[in-house]
Chains A and B, each alone.
Chain A
Amino acid sequence: MVRINSAVIVGYGGYVPRYRIKSEEIARIWGRDKSELPVEEKAVAGLDEDTVTMAVEAAKIAIKRAGIPPSKIGAVHVGTESKPYAVKPSGTIVAEAIGAVPSVTAADFEFACKAGTEALQFITSLVDAGRIEYGLAIGADTAQGRPGDALEFTAACGAAAFIIGRDKNEGVAEIEAWTSYVTDTPDFWRREYERYPHHTARFTGDPAYFHHIVNSVKNLLENDGYTLNDIDYAVFHQPNVRFPLVAAKLLGIDLEKTKPGLITGYIGNTYAASSLLGLVKVLDQAKPGQRILLASFGSGAGSDSYIIRVLEGIEVKRSLAPTLDKFIERKTYIDYAIYARHRKKILM
């Protein structure tokens, strides 16, 4: 086991756009059975939003909580599968917009829905190694599902940002350990120039999501000497409401520890932001001393799992910026026609 010596979350922020479409409305368009829908509703970005603008929204909230000058941020890494540009980093625009330029590294990470936790690993390592004083890790996506495809019910928009520093006294939570579990699994992919992803339906559950998450978490607990009793909250990647609950069950984790961070029913699967927004939701309510298990999943496939311990600083810093609930509750329903315009399914 390789211990992390000093990497603490000094600021965090979650952002969800204002618009929602109900699963029922999508089912109405395609004549689907409304009795078994994967989520209640999902978040849809505004006409003027994309991964970069949502990343900036989340980053600004994180900076408010961190209370540091953005010029001290030495790395800005955005994990996403919906970069506005195929070539031209999102990280540079985000770094410029928050005022972290020019002494900064700023690449984008891609690993389907786990790109955000991957960025977080990288930032954590840079800070822990003493290469930078502060770093900003973001998971953000404006996910696209093919019209009529099962993914259309869940593919949603959102962003989560974390500023990592070294000093426990200014931290809201300490990153105690992380690990990854990765294999080549063809469960979901999108080639260049393609608008929508392809997926192998029979791979999605057992060989992909459950296999990687369960092994990642088991390895983390075993290697770093934790037991399930050390865990107060468990946050998993949330492609739908059912999967995280099944993952908890497979691992023997009490469902009551999983439900506080389970928000996909109201916002959908925000891809690279999904598990990180679950973490934001938990940080919005956790108490100092509590431990959070975080496990992402990215198709392709892999899972990053983390043990995060909440610090005293949470109480004060939480109140310095809007909680995630403010954004979840700020909602306006749109119908499929408006949704089609928002998600550029109508070409002008």
Chain B
Amino acid sequence: MFRIKVPRYWRHKDFRYRLNAWKCNHCGETHFFQPLICRKCRSRDFSRVTLPESGKLLAYTVVRSPPEGFEAQSPYIIGFIELDDGTRILGQLTDCYPEELKQGMKVEATLRKIREDQEDKIIAYCYKFRPAI
């Protein structure tokens, strides 16, 4: 049975809901979740940044054999996206079918349900990307 780790889901909500991330003040590296030290330059000095909600689709793949906990929305599409500020990010694509997707097309972030705990029923919401409207 698939379970969601509630404290971790809660800790990550700034990024999952709003793309609020951390930027290293020393080397500029973007960290999605609060880091202790920068993976690139070992600095401990960070600022909060909100990543842009729009970007372009670099690549995608259709997931037909989902990992546990993701069955309810299968098949679904995972995209590799370059946001307008150059940040590259993985995310599910939504409101689209694979045949509608083109490399380089504009996409925008939206909040969606990503999975539900099968026992406690808590809902995990997260950013996904959809073709720009």
Contact = CB atoms under 8 A, between A and B. Distances in A.
A96 to B, nearest CB: 6
Contact of B73 (A47, A53, A57, A330): A47
B113 A49 contact: yes
A18 B95 contact: yes
Given A49-B112, A348-B71, A322 B125 contact: no
Interface string B18-59: 100000000000000000000000000000000000000000
A46 B111 contact: no
B72 interface: yes
B74 to A, nearest CB: 9
B133 interface: yes
Interface string A26-58: 000000000000000000001111101100110
Contacts of A96: 13, 17-18
A182 interface: no
A261 B42 CA distance: 58
Interface string B64-79: 0000000111000000
Given A56-B111, A57-B110, A330-B133, A48 B73 contact: yes
A319 B44 CA distance: 43
A178 B73 CA distance: 43
B108 to A, nearest CB: 10
A244 B73 CA distance: 37
A253 interface: no
A67 interface: no
B105 interface: no
A264 B38 CA distance: 53
Nearest to B108: A60
Contacts of B13: 96
A48 B133 CA distance: 18
A46 B72 CA distance: 12
Contacts of A48: 73, 92, 94, 112-114, 128
A326 B133 contact: yes
B123 interface: yes
A92 to B, nearest CB: 11
Nearest to A70: B18
A288 interface: no
Interface string B117-131: 000000101001000
Contacts of B113: 48-50, 53
Contacts of B110: 53, 56-57
Contacts of B72: 47, 348
Contacts of B94: 46, 48
A172 to B, nearest CB: 20
A30 to B, nearest CB: 26
A86 to B, nearest CB: 10
Given A48-B73, A327-B133, A97 B111 contact: yes
A84 interface: yes
Contacts of A56: 110-111
Contact of A93 (B71, B92, B112, B125): B125
Contact of B17 (A46, A57, A97, A330): A97
A13 to B, nearest CB: 12
A46 B128 CA distance: 13
A48 B113 CA distance: 5
Contacts of A47: 72-73
A99 interface: yes
Nearest to B116: A84
Contacts of B114: 48
A119 to B, nearest CB: 19
A237 B129 CA distance: 32
B133 A97 contact: no
B125 A52 contact: yes
B18 A53 contact: no
Given A97-B111, A330-B133, 12 more contacts: A17-B95, A46-B94, A48-B73, A50-B113, A52-B123, A53-B111, A53-B125, A56-B110, A85-B123, A96-B17, A97-B125, A348-B71
5 contacts: A46-B112, A53-B125, A56-B111, A322-B133, A348-B71
Interface of B: 13, 17-18, 71-73, 92, 94-95, 110-114, 123, 125, 128, 133
